[in-house]
Amino acid sequence: MQVLQAGPHKLILLEIDPSTVTAVAEQAGFVSKLRESPRSMLVELTAEQRDTPLLLFDAADPANLGWFSRCQFYVDGRTGGVMQTPLSVANKRDRAGRNMTNGLRLRIAKELPASFRLPGKQAMTEQVLYAMLNNFLQALVRTGVAVCGGTLIQPLAGRSEAPGTRN
């Protein structure tokens, strides 16, 4: 971890190890492909051995109330940002343009404001990031991750169509 000062702005630069990210993804049951840029790491995740969809569900659907109460992670459906983390997600699509229910794209920000804190006021380090990534991937497979609002991120579990009017 490094600290960068650019004028009045102070940033934390995380030195994320790609092999550790791959190992964490494999432990959670995902196959991963990584692409790095100076400011972020893009991880394409696929749970090839999984027959059911990943547990990314719509928090507004009343049928998901039990899942919502157990959630540790919430995704902003307008931006894809995983709230209070340096992670953001996007749906992964097949060649026909449909959502793949067993895969996601995950972006890990390497540059964070120096004031960035996780819930509980814990400072961000590489080790904390790896633990949080493991918890997030385990939540996708076991307990569920809620999508709150917006239409950019489509839920993978639960209802596949939006509730509409009945005739």
pLDDT tens-digit map of 36-49: 999 999 999 999 88
- What digits encode the pLDDT tens for the residues 117-161? 888 888 899 999 999 999 999 999 988 888 888 788 888 876 544
Q: How far apart are alpha carbons 81 and 60 in whole angstroms?
A: 17
Classify residue 161: in a domain, yes or no. no
The range of the structural domain enclosing residue 74 comes to 2-148
The predicted structure's pLDDT at residue 32 = 95
Domain count, the chain: 1
Classify residue 24: in a domain, yes or no. yes
Cβ pair 50, 56 in contact under 8 A: no
At position 83, the amino acid (one-letter code) is M
The predicted structure's pLDDT at residue 108 = 97
Is 9's pLDDT higher than 90? Answer: no
Cβ pair 75, 145 in contact under 8 A: yes
Classify residue 97: in a domain, yes or no. yes
Classify residue 153: in a domain, yes or no. no
Q: Which of 24, 94, 92 is nearest to 54 (CA)?
A: 92
Q: Between 28 and 119, where is the model more confident?
A: 28
The predicted structure's pLDDT at residue 67 = 61
The predicted structure's pLDDT at residue 160 = 46
Q: Between 53 and 17, where is the model more confident?
A: 17
Distances (CA, A) of 130 to 54, 108, 137, 150: 20, 11, 11, 28
Count CB-CB contacts under 10 A for residue 14.
21
- What number is the average pLDDT over the span 44-68? 79
Classify residue 82: in a domain, yes or no. yes
Classify residue 58: in a domain, yes or no. yes
Q: How far apart are alpha carbons 31 and 42 in whole angstroms?
A: 13
The predicted structure's pLDDT at residue 59 = 78
Classify residue 134: in a domain, yes or no. yes
- What number is the average pLDDT over the span 93-110? 92
Main-chain phi, psi angles of 66, to 5 degrees: -65, -40
Classify residue 49: in a domain, yes or no. yes
The predicted structure's pLDDT at residue 60 = 75
- What number is the average pLDDT over the span 50-65? 78
- Share above pLDDT 70 across residues of the chain, in percent, rounded to a whole number: 89
